[in-house]
Amino acid sequence: MTSRIPRDSRLRLVRPRPLAAAPSAVNERRPRRPAPRPPEGTPAPAELARMARSGLAAAARVARWADNALGPGRDAATADGKATLSESTAERAASDLGLTTDRIRADWDTARLAGLVEVHGDSARPGWRLRAWDRDDSAVLRGWVALFDAWSLASPEPEEQEPAAVAEVVSAMPQVLSFLQLSAGPVPVEQLLDLLRQRVTELRTERCEVPYGAGSEPAAPLAPVPVDADPAEPAQDAELAPLLDWALHALAAVGALTCGGGQATLTPLGSWAVWVKLEQICVAAQSPAGNIEQSAEGMLRGCAQLRPNAARAEYRAWLAARTVGSAVSELLLAARGDDALLRGLAFEALRVVGAPAEPDVRAVVEEPALRPYALLWLAEHDGVDPEDAHEVLTREEATWLWVDTAAAVADHGEAPMLVRHLESALQPTVPALLTEVRAVGHPRTVQVLVALAAAHPDPALAKAVRRAAFQVHTGGS
């Protein structure tokens, strides 16, 4: 038997991105939506970038000091394996920069949240935004937006408050910020507290909804509340008022708003950032897919036939409407399903999330079904060229990923695409590929080989593939 695949070619593993985002028609053209214009009075991007550079000047200063003083071959920044400044390093930075150690630690944390310093495992290094800080306005604005997104981490949570209550306020603040942006001016804090109370009540009501299954009996009704009972609003205000105060001051600390005289006002940067996120949501709602209200799985299925740029726009809009933690958890849950196409798309969406997803991606490295995808994601996140990222995979992991991607093609692609997928195999010959495919134990191996045999035009090769499928099915050798 001979193979039509050249024996002397080193065939590279093709990442699932082109397949996953392949359009249904080559000549498909979607009408372009005119680029939205920010609200009147919004400063130009160059002026916004100047404001962001000014607000992050102290963080950039510490990041540059670390780049010079703690680079490769020099002292490490950490002593505890958590990429936080050790006491000796903080004191050294304070001495060199003429600041207190507390100020150094605060600026270091800000630099990490803004992406000026990147944390990788137990080490930290200068981020790419620091390299482009003086010449790339978009890098500066993206760094500031990253800090804005992490506002709840920029200031310590109130210790006396329950974590669940803090989480509710963090989840409710996007609506408060949207109201501030639409108001385009100072808003009384009392009005914001009323809005926050309404949103938290909605969140609590949603959690308390219990769907009754078929044949189940509803629980006995609660005792009626006396008509003359006092409402719970004063007690809820007493709980939410200090949390709102914390949230507003945390947002002020990152430069998103100003507080004073019982009022809060978005800064130009804050107003622009909220507008960008609202616009992303509107774009998704008006797009042909319109997946913003879908679960992660529904959103990914809706993006399967979009071109790469359009799909990434949908990912950004879907992410903008959710907290980072819940979005990443949803995407990883979808990736654990049986559909290999969704697995590849989920990690494409996680690439849009970027650095905030790193801890969760590292946590799934030991899951066999997600390991190859997670390793590729982490390699790219660490700065490896996407074309070379496959080199971090072992032969077995690369073969497992080939089968998984082939399963996605078999389920959602066309026969010629499955035949072309042979060219992406790491093995130089089809017999070698079949031997290693049978050894990796992918649960879809039989279906993939049967589909490949049915699609391939070479009768001899198709026969060999069918034989391999039968041997896997029967457990033979």
- Per-residue pLDDT of 328-338, as tens digits, reads 999 999 999 88
Pairing assessment for the beta strands 263-266 and 187-188 based on DSSP bridges:
antiparallel
Model confidence pLDDT, tens digit, residues 383-421? 788 777 788 888 888 888 888 888 888 878 776 776 777
Determine the pLDDT at residue 437: 78
Q: pLDDT exceeding 90 applies to what percent of the chain?
A: 23
What is the pLDDT at residue 5?
38
Q: What is the pLDDT of residues 69-123, one digit of tens each?
A: 876 545 555 544 455 677 888 899 899 999 999 999 999 989 988 888 876 655 6
pLDDT at residue 326, rounded to an integer: 86
Per-residue pLDDT reduced to its tens digit, 238-289: 778 889 999 999 999 999 999 988 899 999 999 999 988 888 777 666 655 5
Query: Does residue 41 or residue 230 have the better pLDDT?
Result: 41
Helix (H, G, I), strand (E, B) or coil at 259: strand
Residue 130 has pLDDT above 70, yes or no: yes
Question: From CA 421, how far away is CA 427, in angstroms rounded?
Answer: 12
| Rg (alpha carbons) of the chain, rounded to whole number | 27
Mean per-residue pLDDT over the chain, rounded = 77
How much is the pLDDT for 121? 55
pLDDT of residue 112: 86
Please enumerate, as own/partner, the contacts of 347-351 that have beta carbons within 8 Å and a separation of 24 or more: 347/373, 347/374, 347/376, 347/377, 348/16, 348/17, 348/20, 348/21, 348/311, 348/312, 348/315, 349/296, 349/299, 349/300, 349/315, 349/318, 349/319, 350/377, 351/377, 351/380
214 versus 176: the higher-pLDDT residue is 176
149 confidence band (pLDDT: 50, 70, 90): confident
Higher pLDDT, 396 or 207: 396
User: In sequence order, which residues have a C-beta less than 8 Å from that of residue 184 and are 6 or more positions away?
Assistant: 39, 41, 271
Q: Report d(CA 85, CA 77) in Å as an integer.
A: 5
Contact 116, 134 (CB under 8 A): no
For residue 124, list its beta bridge partners: 119
Residue 354: is its pLDDT beyond 80? yes
CA nearest to 90, candidates 109, 71, 73? 109
DSSP string, 149-215: HTHHHHSPPPTTS-HHHHHHHHHHHHHHHHHHHHHTS-EEHHHHHHHHHHHHHHHHHHHH--PPPTT
Q: What is the pLDDT of residue 34?
A: 56
25-to-28, 36, 155, 419 alpha-carbon distances in Å = 5, 28, 50, 19
**Helices of type H across 189-295:** 189-208, 233-253, 268-286
Q: How would residue 351 be classed by pLDDT, with cut points 50, 70 and 90?
A: very high
Cα separations (Å) of 353 from 133, 146, 160, 318, 348? 21, 10, 32, 11, 9
Mean pLDDT score, 199-208: 80
User: Does position 131 have pLDDT exceeding 80, yes or no?
Assistant: yes
The pLDDT, as a whole number, for residue 17 is 39
| 473 has a pLDDT exceeding 70 | no
Least confident interval from 11-20, 209-218, 238-247, 445-454 = 11-20
Contact (Cβ atoms closer than 8 angstroms) between residue 317 and residue 280 = yes
